[in-house]
Amino acid sequence: MPLSEEEQRLLDEMERNLYKREADTVSVSTGPRTVNYTRVAIGLLIVLVGLGIVLAGVATKLIVIGAVGFVAAVAGLVVAFSASKPAAESDAESGGKAGASGSSGGKAKTGSSFMDRMSDEWDKRQERD
C-alpha cells in the first residue's frame, strides 16, 4: 500500500532530520580524545587473568570456571575500551565542581536516547497539524 503525499512528506522530513543529527553527532564524536592509560592497563590485566581462568577451566574440565573466566575477560575488555573519552569531557571533570556543573546542561540534551528524541519530534509535528 503506497504512502499518501502527506505521509511521504513527513517521512522525507524525518529522514532529513535524521541525516542532519547523524552528521552533527559524527562531527562531535570525532574530536580530540584523551586516554586513561591506567584503565587500559587494568583492563588488559583483567583480560589476561580471565583468559588464565578460562585455561584453568579447560584443564580441569569444569565449564563453570571457564564461564567465569570468559566473563572476566569480557569485563576487562569493557574497562579497556571505555578508557578514552572526549577531551572536553575530561577537562570538565578535572576542572572540579564548577566545570562539572557547567557541562551538565548540555549533557541532559545529549543524554536522551535516539528513540526519545524521535518521539518528541513526532509529537511536535502532530501538535502542529
Residue 86 lies in a domain: yes
Structural domain range at position 124: 29-128
Taking each helix axis from N to C end, the angle separating 37-60 and 63-81, rounded to the nearest 10 degrees, works out to 170
Considering only CA atoms, which of 68, 84, 73, 80 is closest in space to residue 42? 80
pTM tops 0.85: no
Residues 6+ apart with CB under 8 A from 55: 69
Q: Is the pLDDT of residue 27 over 70?
A: no
Average pLDDT on 95-104 reads: 45
In this structure, what is the dihedral angle of CA atoms 106, 108, 113, 117, given to the nearest 10 degrees? -80
- 98 or 40, which is more confident? 40
Residue 12 lies in a domain: no
Residue 9 lies in a domain: no
H/E element, 84: strand 84-86
Residue 20 lies in a domain: no
Least confident of 13-17, 33-37, 42-46: 33-37
Helix ranges (DSSP H) in the chain: 5-29, 37-60, 63-81, 87-94, 97-111, 114-128
Q: How many other CB atoms are there within 10 angstroms of residue 44's CB atom?
A: 14
Residue 94 lies in a domain: yes
Q: Is the pLDDT of residue 105 over 60?
A: no
Residue 88 lies in a domain: yes
Question: Given pLDDT bands bounded at 50, 70 and 90, which one contains residue 56?
Answer: very high
Residue 16 lies in a domain: no
Helix ranges (DSSP H) in 82-113: 87-94, 97-111
Q: Is the pLDDT of residue 101 over 50?
A: no
Residue 120 lies in a domain: yes
- 91 or 86, which is more confident? 86
26 burial via Cβ count (<10 Å: 0-12, 13-18, 19+): exposed
Structural domain total, the chain: 1
